[in-house]
Amino acid sequence: MDSNNHRDEFPITKNYNFQNHAGVSPLSRRAAEAMRTYIAECVSTSYVGRKWYAHVDHVRQLAADLIGANGDEIAFVKNTTEGLAFLATGLKWMTGDNVITTSVEFPANIYPWMNLQARGVRLKMVIEENGRIPLDRIIEAIDSRTRVVSISAVQFASGFRTDLAALGAACQEKGVILCVDAIQALGVLPIDVQAMHIDVLSADGHKWMCGPEGAGIFYLRKELLGHVKPSIVGWMGMKNATDYGNYQFEFLDDARRFECGSYNVAGLYGLGASLELFLEIGVDRIWSHVRTLTDRLVTGLRDKGYRVISSRQPGEESGIVAFISDVHDHNEVQRHLQAEHRIVLAVREGRLRSSPHLYNTTDEIDQLLDALPRH
């Protein structure tokens, strides 16, 4: 894939060498244009003659196509946390049940489960080992009282990628729900919920999907629909929702039952435009390009004396490269790169973190390597 073909789609390239897509990504040009179109229509004609909600359902199908799901298994959420909380609060729990996660999750995938401890649910955390989370440790932690394994597809601070297919197969065999925080994967790594036996998935659109904040997706395998009760109940999740004066308390027969009220239409217009772009290019091609960039970065970092924390074993690498200097202050390095070279990185959990995307180039990787102080 020639990244130069897509740089016009991301105007930020005129201002920065932006390598922080694991943080908050810049909007794609077409996402911004879609949102502006919606806003212009709001100003000029409001809802008169508009079919905005029909377009929302189009975006729902785009999201389903991205992850290999059916459209009726997708609900829209404000953020990743909301989707994870749908599962945590929607299952019927018993004292002594447990949930398995890891010790290095982003807080979005911790607090919904911690909240269950008051109900007698135990949270078991598998420990990170040298930047990796061994799959066998997760599987070994599953016991007869495990209800859910909830894990990030890619860890935010290390970039470690979980073998979701192997974990999904193990969870299916043991009758355990696999819940995936996919925000650090969707848009850069192929995800197929059917092939990977993923039962629940949640991700906001503002990272690798290059959409706006506040517009994300929640996937629930249809076989689980009757086992997860909506924790927030509203009119949009009901059958015959637009028959306003007829109070018919009957949930929709699909994932839309979790959508309690009006949509963030502007955000979903933006998300949909970015999803169209990513499906048009192909996530497999995007990942091939990003893997080439990150391989180049890892080699250069090691040559320059930095310690790479991110696993680069086959199947464990991702779009995130976390690295450490034993000499330089990481926050000072980050500030210097942005102020003097207009290179945007992040510092997470005491590590420098680069996360390039489809429009970044090998020249930008080399610019970063040149600008980093030597040991």
Q: Is the pLDDT of residue 3 over 80?
A: no
Q: What confidence category does residue 46 fall into, taking pLDDT thresholds of 50, 70 and 90?
A: confident
CATH of domain 31-280: 3.40.640.10
Mean pLDDT of the chain: 96
- Mean pLDDT for the stretch of residues 81-100: 98
pLDDT tens for 322-343 read 999 999 999 999 999 999 999 9
pLDDT tens for 94-146 read 999 999 999 999 999 999 999 999 999 999 999 999 999 999 999 999 999 99
User: Domain spans of the chain?
Assistant: 3-19+282-371, 31-280
Q: Is the pLDDT of residue 244 over 90?
A: yes
- Mean pLDDT for the stretch of residues 169-174: 98
Taking the C-alpha atoms of residue 232 and residue 82, their distance in angstroms, rounded to an integer, is 10
| Beta-bridge mates of residue 124 | 100
Write down the pLDDT at residue 374: 87
- Mean pLDDT for the stretch of residues 77-91: 98
Q: Is the pLDDT of residue 38 over 70?
A: yes
Taking the C-alpha atoms of residue 33 and residue 99, their distance in angstroms, rounded to an integer, is 42
Q: What confidence category does residue 1 fall into, taking pLDDT thresholds of 50, 70 and 90?
A: low
Query: 60 is written with which tokens?
Result: 């729902």
CB atoms within 10 A of CB 350: 11
Q: Output the CA–CA distances (angstroms, integers) from residue 370 to 158, 291, 339, 366, in the order listed.
A: 23, 20, 15, 6
Write down the pLDDT at residue 17: 98
Return the residue matching tokens 């010790």.
103
Phi, psi of 125 (to 5 degrees): -110, 120
The share of the chain scoring above pLDDT 90, in percent, equals 94
Q: Output the CA–CA distances (angstroms, integers) from residue 171 to 109, 142, 154, in the order listed.
A: 18, 8, 18
pLDDT tens for 344-369 read 999 999 999 999 999 999 999 999 99
CA dihedral (71, 75, 79, 85) in degrees, to 10, reads -120
The share of the chain scoring above pLDDT 70, in percent, equals 99
Write down the pLDDT at residue 47: 78
Q: Which helix (H) or strand (E) holds 353?
A: strand 351-354
List CB contacts of 263: < 8 A, sequence separation 6 or more: 53, 56, 76
Write down the pLDDT at residue 352: 98
Q: Output the CA–CA distances (angstroms, integers) from residue 166 to 20, 159, 162, 198, 279, in the order listed.
A: 29, 18, 9, 11, 25
CATH topology of domain 3-19+282-371: Aspartate Aminotransferase, domain 1 (3.90.1150)
